[in-house]
Amino acid sequence: MMSGAIPEIETFEEEELTNARLMIEQEAEDDNQELPSLEEFNATWEACFSEWAYFPSRNAYGRISTATKADRIESAKHRFEALRAEADAQAGRARKLEARLKMRLGGYAKVADQRAAGLNRVQQEVENAQIESSCHSMLLANETAAIPRRIADAEGRAALEAEAEELLQAEYQRLVEEKAALLAARAAARKEASAKKTAAKRARRAQEEKEMLEEEEEERKKSAAVVAGAKSKAGAPEAMVLESEESTEPPKEAAAVIAAAS
């Protein structure tokens, strides 16, 4: 619950309220008057500052034109020291502000650096892709222009290769036929030589057998003569006749060999 009495609100007449409203509007119009521009303010400030200065010995401001040289030097030193102190103070505040900003915005700065590195990498990739695209486009144009000439060259080389292949095939066929003829001639020559060799062997063998038979016949004749002489001495003429008949008839084996040789 609220404690205390309710304050009494003062009542005003309508005329008083109208006058108050007019006064507020007039004050608002006075506040909305146009202010001097920055150039005008700077010009006024420079005019006042160039004419007036602070003199530490006097502990007051005064006109520069009426001051002595020592006062002007002292005023310049005081102004320099004041500006240096202000600069140091501003630098200290800037360092503190930088430290606070670094502490607060360190994460954002790190992310920004990463994003910047990523953007640089993407930009480099885009530039490389553009260079590669231009190179590929140039190569495509060159290759497209060279295709008809290369096709004509390939067709010419193919025709030459086909002609050379036909010549080589014909030469190969001739050599194959020549080889077959040479092999057939060599086989026939070998067969003929083998037949001649076999015939010579047979003739030589027949001659040897014939000579052997003749030698055997000669031996038989000699043996028969010896036997006949011995029998004649013994008085057996019939035995000599029979022996001579047997010796004049050639053996069957010798007759077969002679027939084969002939």
Tens-digit pLDDT profile for residues 116-173: 999 999 999 999 999 999 999 999 999 899 999 989 999 999 999 999 999 999 999 9
pLDDT at 1: 41
The Cα–Cα gap between 45 and 154 comes to 90
Ranges of each domain in the chain:
207-261
Average pLDDT over residues 6-13: 68
Q: Is pLDDT at 257 greater than 50 in this prediction?
A: no
pLDDT at 9: 65
Tokens of 175: 């050599």
Q: Could you tell me which residue, 180 or 5, shows the higher pLDDT?
A: 180
| Percent of the chain at pLDDT exceeding 70 | 82
**Residue-averaged pLDDT of the chain:** 81
pLDDT at 7: 54
Name the DSSP letter for residue 32: T
Burial string for 177-201 (b: 16+ CB within 10 Å, else e) reads: eeeeeeeeeeeeeeeeeeeeeeeee
Contact 206, 261 (CB under 8 A): yes
Residue-wise pLDDT for 30-54, tens only, equals: 766 666 678 888 888 887 777 888 8
pLDDT at 229: 75
pLDDT band at 247 (very low <50, low <70, confident <90, very high): very low
pLDDT at 101: 86
Average pLDDT over residues 84-98: 92
Contact 128, 120 (CB under 8 A): no
pLDDT at 35: 64
Query: What pTM was computed for the model?
Result: 0.30
Average pLDDT over residues 54-78: 84
pLDDT at 3: 45
